[in-house]
Amino acid sequence: MSTTVTSTIGVDTDADLGSGAWRTIRSVLRQPSTIVGLVIVGLFVLSAVLSPVIAPYSVSQSSCKVFAPPSGKHWLGCDDGGIDVLSLVLHGGGVSMIVGVFATLICMIVGAGFGILSGYFGGWVDIVLMRITDYFLVIPQIVLMIVIAAVWGPNLSHVIVVIGALMWTGTARVVRAQVMSIRERAYVRRVEALGAGHLRIIAHHIIPQVGPLLAANAVLAMTVAIFNETALAFLGLSDPTAITWGTIMEHAFDRAAAGAGAWWAIAPAGVAVALFIVGCYLIGRSIEDALNPRLRVSYLSPRSWTLRPLVGRGPEAI
Amino acid sequence: MRGSGYVVRRIVFAVITIYVVLTLNFVLFRVLPGNAVTRISRVPNASPKLKHALEVQFGLDRPLWVQYGRYLDQLFHGNLGISYVNQRPVFDNLRDALQNTIPMVAIGTVLALVIGVAVGVLSAVRRGTVTDHASTNLAVLFYAFPTQFLGLMLLMMFAGVLPTAGMSDAFAINPSGWSHLVDIGKHMILPVATLVLTLYAENALIVRSAMLETLGEDFILTARAKGVPRRRIIRSYALRNAMLPTITLIALSLGSIVTGAILIEVIFSWPGIGRALYGAVLARDYPMLQGGFLVITITVVVLNLLADLLYARLDPRIRH
């Protein structure tokens, strides 16, 4: 008897949720900034996937003079080893994105785990987990990243783990706040009263509800991960043999591209990072705004709506 | 009463955090892969005799808890160890480096704050106009540029016009007080400009959104209905309230200021804490790295505590 009722409620909320999620997606897609973001990110992903085919030159063999300026043959010039910069940036994009995706994955698993457990169970679990989160929020993460990466050794998988394991705090806090409010909703209380276990409630009612929020957070975490990778790489703590946007810049700096005035050895990778981050940012912002439309009202000059900045990282996001 | 409870809680938390950092600092350099002695000797296949001698010298033959106790004891006496590279006490190295970093970062942070607040308020008040779109999009772009990219571009643009390396002219003969100061100021322009470019954008975006949020509140509507002048609404009603979340967020980003400073110091060869840390990484100078991590972390924790307390003072609602 009770199982029937539980499943009915389950179906009910699932159907409701389905249309809710669909509404979110539609309202996200209606914003022009989403389209711009999707186009930018899409182009980058496409170029990274196709880089073996579309890269004009090999990235392991020199094809022109050292620090040759941009020309018809080499659109973005050449680096210190006479390697075509355009090919390097195309190749590096894929590796940078892989680092970003895996670091984000770690960040999402840890952050969502912390947030869900602490928001769902409350009490001591919440206190302990949130103190740990506070702690990670306060210490300067990049310095810890540098220290760990330096002690652990330069290796791409180390870089991924270090970045992912240190940037989940924002996610944990945002998810916790959301879970706390979902947990208090009547239907979750009802399902609980009907005897559903914690695991079932979390899996069927909590996780699907925080889905869109996690998606927004993941896209924004991507930007932080890629940023951190370039910073670590620049300090010589990434894998020296891997080609990423970060190591391209580090390499050029290391081999005195700046002194040679060879801006083309540095600028393309930096611009690629910036464009990719703007793309992710636009998408992430749009999802967050679809979830929280409150900010569209201003009583001083109620005109139109534009970008909202990255505020989700602080306690204000709660 | 409840207010002082909040203050006490924040201070206790900060103290606990610093203790955890101290412990982490001890553990981190012992649990991570790689034998401590191998790393200290920097000889992968050292003879057993050398290894043992090193173990005794660094007290690594003692039980872990004895080592921990000795480590804490040494710290309380201000002993952070000896740098492998220049054989000076780590404490002295770090103190000199911090003295060079603090003016640069402080000037950059304050400038970035002033510019960020101005731009953020302007675009929130003119929201939806060309001014708003232009300044917001520009801020997003600057926010997205990696620090090292901005630094290197500035370096190449102004090479030959402004000094691009170091803190002062190494070839100046007996610089007098004033000309020495001018020299340092000139050297500081590019690093500070880089810091401002990377920081102002984030501040502007934060202030803009906080302002928009405040402008959407009912008391603004009431003030408008009462006929309060626009300028006064912005300054006395909106900005005051919008500064609260701004302060917290800026406090939270103190950690990233440290990062920015590391990259900037590396690019412009600024002899500060960031470059000291970078040098320690390259030379695998573990005592330096350990000390640098400790000093930066404690600085950030203390600054965060101060920001928290300031925040609580400005907004009594916070003390829950």
The first and second tokens of residue A304, run together, are 């139109």
CA angle (B122 as vertex; B116, B125 as ends), nearest 5: 135
Q: Which amino acid type is present at position A6?
A: T
B152: which chain A residues are within 8 Å (Cβ-Cβ)? 249, 253, 258, 266, 270
- CA gap A164, B26 in Å, rounded: 22
Contact A142/B262, CB-based, under 8 Å? yes
Nearest Cα residue in chain B from A132: B17
The predicted structure's pLDDT at residue A300: 44
Q: Please check whether residue A315 is in contact with residue B177, taking contact to mean a CB–CB distance below 8 angstroms.
A: no
Residues of B in contact with A315 (CB under 8 A): 248, 252
Closest A-chain CA to B10? A134
Contact A301 B128 (CB under 8 A): yes
Tell me the pLDDT tens digit for each residue of A64-116: 877 778 877 777 878 877 788 888 888 889 999 999 999 999 999 999 999 99
Contact B149 A270 (CB under 8 A): yes
Nearest to B145 among A274, A306, A309 (CB): A274
Q: How many CA atoms lie within 13 A of B212 on its CB side?
A: 27
- pLDDT at res. B306: 83
- Does position A276 have pLDDT exceeding 90, yes or no? yes
> What one-character DSSP code corresponds to residue A139?
S
Q: Which pLDDT score, from 0 to 100, does residue B170 have?
A: 66
Rounded mean pLDDT, A225-241: 87
Q: Which H or E run includes B59?
A: none
| Residue predicted with more confidence, B78 or A211 | A211
Nearest of B299, B297, B319 to residue B308 by alpha carbon: B319
- Give pLDDT tens digits for A48-58: 888 888 878 77
Structure confidence at residue A220 (pLDDT): 84
pLDDT at A16 exceeding the cut of 60? no
pLDDT per residue, tens digit, chain B (320 aa), is 455 777 888 888 889 888 888 888 888 777 655 555 555 555 556 677 777 776 676 666 677 788 888 888 888 887 887 887 777 888 888 888 888 888 888 899 889 989 999 999 999 888 878 888 889 889 888 888 988 899 999 998 888 778 877 777 666 666 677 788 888 888 889 999 999 998 888 888 888 888 888 887 888 888 888 888 888 888 888 888 888 777 766 766 666 677 668 889 999 988 888 888 888 888 877 788 888 888 888 888 888 888 778 777 777 766 55
pLDDT in tens, A290-312: 776 554 444 443 322 223 333 33
Give whole-number Cα distances, B259 to A144, A234, B22, B44, B306, in Å: 11, 12, 20, 32, 20
- CB pair distance less than 8 Å for A143 and B252: no
Distance CA(A4)–CA(A272), nearest Å, equals 54
Copy the structure tokens of residue A151.
């002690």
Minimal-distance CA residue of chain B relative to A306: B128
Confidence of residue A1 (pLDDT cuts 50, 70, 90): very low
Through-space distance between the first and last CA atoms of chain B, rounded to whole angstroms: 11
Q: Residue A13's pLDDT is what?
A: 42
pLDDT score at B255: 65
Phi, psi of B159 (to 5 degrees): -60, 130
Q: What is the pLDDT of residue B39?
A: 57
For residue B295, give both structure tokens: 């000093």
Please determine, for residue A139, whether its predicted confidence score (pLDDT) is greater than 70: yes
ipTM summary value? 0.81
Q: Do B249 and A311 lie within an 8 Å CB cutoff?
A: yes
Dist. CA A53–CA A57, nearest whole Å: 10
Q: Is B229 left (phi over 0), alpha (psi -120 to 50) or beta?
A: beta
Q: For residue B141, give the nearest of A274, A304, A310 by CB distance.
A: A274
